[in-house]
Structure 1
Amino acid sequence: MTKKKQNIIFLLVVLLFTVVLIFIPTGFENPSLHKNTERVKAVITAVNNSDLQNHGIVTTGTQNLKINILAGMHKGDTISATNVLMGQKRIDKIFAIGDKVLAIVKTDNQKILTARAEDYYRISIEWILLAVFALFLIGFAGITGFKALLSFIFTALTLWKILLPLILKGFSPIVSAFAIIVLCTTVIIILINGFSKKGLVALVGSISGVGITCCLALLFAHFFRIPGTVQDFSETLLYVGYTHLDLPSIFIACIFIAAAGAVMDVAMDISAAQNEIIDHNPSITTKALIRSGFNVAYPVIGTMTTTLLFAYSGSFMFVFMVFMAKGTPLNIIVNTNYVAAEILRTLVGSFGLVLVAPITAIVGGFIYVRNY
């Protein structure tokens, strides 16, 4: 069988598996949440704010609304709804006439009992953004763009439909996460590069980098003593009955999951560069190719080590601004558990990026050429 046929068969298998993932349940569906309940798009037609109370920058009370339902069995109906403000700006919304909302409608024998405006309706714009992204990707890169989009959807579904249920069912977060990362990395690299030496070098380098990142996370997490509850919503899992979960291990798994994409990028960059070199100079020796791989790795490492710093700092700006506004000393800031957690993420992830470069260069030197 030719490599072209192998690549086509692999593409079809991944496509089929992705379709299957879309339809298989996670095992954590709760039908009772949907019983006598509709979650529908609606538009606000009237607002009564007389019950709202302002306490400085915080607002509490209940908005009494009139909403027109735009979908579902009650489409076209105009009904009363409420929006309760808890005095928490992170979750509270104050709606105005014309706002599109996701409404939760409670019914009994198809008769509406109560309705609540849950949040702004964002699903349509999310689908539009995804469609624009897909069109741009395919329009720019053609079949490679389609493969990249397929790998994107495959990875998202694998994390949602396989990894998360495994962890919730009590499987080891670290083992499960590492296995899923290996699976997704393998699928992505083979989809994009086919069954080739370039893909093999990138795959070996990527898995090695993720493995090193995992080991470093395990080692330094022990000394950092970061509680698993440092993650947002982690305590909520305990309150809803999942007290068996190993939260520190989930936190460690999150570290190398977050770094896996950047590690794969570095490995792919070096593998592709070495592949180009050997195409133009087939007589190059292993040592020379490794040396060339190192020369490519130096500038890649120089920029990629800052990539994770930007990624994590961008999501942590408000925390740093609060510390600065309060005049908190730097030694207090860096010793705080959630800041220390971000330092651990950044440095361990960057360490993995630094090490994956020489590993990939060495692996490439031995796989691409045989004149040792």
Structure 2
Amino acid sequence: MSSSEPQKHPHPHSHAHGHGPAAPVSRHLRKVIAAVLIPFAAAVVVGLAVLWPGGAPTHKPSGVGFDQPTERATVTKVEQVNCADVHAGQPPQQQTPPQGQPPAGGSAQGEDCQRATVKVTTGKDAGRTFQTVVTPDATRHYTSGQDVVVAYSPKAPKELQYSVIDVDRTVPMWVLAALFAFAVVIVGRLRGVLALVSLAASFVVLTLFILPAILQGANPLVVAVVGGSAIMLIALYLCHGLTARTSVAVLGTLASLLLIGLLGSVFIGWALLTGNIDDTTALVHGLYPDIEIRGLLLASIIIGSLGVLDDVTVTQAAAVWELKEADPSASWRKLYGAAMRIGRDHIASVVNTLVLAYAGAALPLLLLFTIAQSSVGTVASSEVVATEIVRTLVGSIGLVASVPLTTLLAALVVSADHKGQGAAAGPGSPEGARPAGGSGRRGSRGKRRKR
């Protein structure tokens, strides 16, 4: 068997992350990459230690909106009653209706409503029952034995302290999560398990650091940068290994996040966006006036872009490594051009995905503007829509920029490494056919032994 035969095995490439293990690079390049990333990782650890909140601040629920204590409950009985008997009918209008039409607002008086008896099952009032009336035009109706979520208002009259606010979706949510985990593990195997572990770690950073730190009054932008960087390091290295290829993806992701932060800060200020665009944000600002709402908006842009950025940078770095393995003699310019052809396809799909994701989230709002027959300019310049436009376009610019940045960095790293090895061992020698990371001095010793 000739020494060149190991190079004949194909290395297929796809946009998925199921690439084989990356060929190791030389010790010199590992030192260069470590010199950049180790101080960055150390800074992230220091930031976590300095900003660590030690838990969310104590807070007494105000009873407004989402700021209500909740308990579990069960619907024990549902009966049909006349809406008029339970005062659920709308009062009739005073104006005279057009001839041949029924009086407006009085239709509910002859209809049946649901009267549900609900039993609280958790909390200090477990076992207590109350009744709620559901009108025929309500979007949600109840059945006997159904589990629900109730809100508790201690300042209300005793018979009105509990009210049903939602249904209990615990079982279907856990079943769906189990199906998701099963699919990831079956298809991804060990990589799938590591992906689930990194997902859990990201959730821990989000719930134990990012959210409590913002509530404690820390700068949301600084918290998002530190927390997002920690999530990035954990997710990428855990899922893809402690390799130079992963390190290149980390550097590309970091550079793109810095660009997103800069552009977001500029355009949020230029467009005079306040970040206070809905009732939830207003409630948070009312409960915690020290929170910088603009910074919270910028933090949401950075965290929202992080997941897609990881996908793009890892794919581009892997593409360059695979292309180099397929053609060891390719220059960095050739590698860059070939990988960018892959990246352009990735850009088109990712940007479209991001825009449609935001459009889907804002679909009810867009429907309201359509009903009002507002012009495109009016819709786009309103703060609610402008905020989503800035969020989408700033994130998309960062995604687009991550492709050439990561591709160029990967091409330079892998070409410099292979070039140095090729000078030490000729292309026809066994060492020249070795993957990246082989020692040139071992090849020289082999030549001396032949002499």
Does the TM-score normalized on the shorter chain lie above 0.5? yes
Q: CA deviation at 1:126?
A: 1.3
- Asked if 1:65 corresponds to 2:90, the answer is no
Residue identity opposite 2:325 in structure 1: D
Q: Which runs of 5+ in 2 are unaligned?
A: 1-23, 25-52, 63-68, 92-104, 421-451
Greater relative CO (CA pairs within 8 A, separation 6+): 2
State the alpha-carbon separation in 2 of the partners of residues 344 and 189 from structure 1: 27
Q: CA deviation at 1:51?
A: 3.6
What is the root-mean-square deviation of aligned Cα atoms in Å?
Answer: 3.4
| Structure ranking higher in strand proportion | 1
Q: Contact conserved, 1:43 with 1:70, CA < 8 A, in 2?
A: no
Using structure 2 for the length normalisation, give the TM-score. 0.66
The 1:237/1:105 distance shift into structure 2, 3 A limit, reads closer
Q: Contact conserved, 2:245 with 2:317, CA < 8 A, in 1?
A: yes
Q: 2:88 aligns with which of 52, 55, 78?
A: 52
State the alpha-carbon separation in 2 of the partners of residues 300 and 273 from structure 1: 12
- Asked if 1:27 corresponds to 2:56, the answer is yes
Q: CA deviation at 1:114?
A: 6.6
Q: Which runs of 5+ in 1 are unaligned?
A: 4-23
Q: Contact conserved, 1:42 with 1:71, CA < 8 A, in 2?
A: no
Q: CA deviation at 1:104?
A: 5.7
State the alpha-carbon separation in 2 of the partners of residues 279 and 141 from structure 1: 23
Q: Contact conserved, 1:43 with 1:68, CA < 8 A, in 2?
A: yes
For 1:51-130, list aligned pairs within 5 A.
Answer: 51-54=87-90, 65-67=116-118, 80-83=129-132, 94-103=141-150, 115-130=162-177
In structure 1, the partner of 2:289 is: 243
Deviations 1:153-176 (A, max 9, x none): 211221111101111111111111
The 1:80/1:63 distance shift into structure 2, 3 A limit, reads farther
State the alpha-carbon separation in 1 of the partners of residues 410 and 365 from structure 2: 42
State the alpha-carbon separation in 2 of the partners of residues 348 and 38 from structure 1: 37
Q: 1:161 aligns with which of 208, 212, 223?
A: 208
Percent of counterpart pairs with the same letter?
Answer: 22
- Asked if 1:43 corresponds to 2:75, the answer is yes
State the alpha-carbon separation in 2 of the partners of residues 204 and 153 from structure 1: 23
Q: Contact conserved, 2:76 with 2:116, CA < 8 A, in 1?
A: yes
**2:276 aligned counterpart, secondary structure:** helix
Q: 2:190 aligns with which of 143, 148, 153?
A: 143
Deviations 1:186-236 (A, max 9, x none): 111101111112211111111111111111101111111111212551110
Using structure 1 for the length normalisation, give the TM-score. 0.79
Q: 1:261 aligns with which of 304, 307, 322?
A: 307
State the alpha-carbon separation in 2 of the partners of residues 195 and 152 from structure 1: 18
Deviations 1:276-299 (A, max 9, x none): 112222332222222222222111
Q: Contact conserved, 2:117 with 2:129, CA < 8 A, in 1?
A: yes
Which structure has the larger Rg? 2
Residue identity opposite 2:300 in structure 1: C
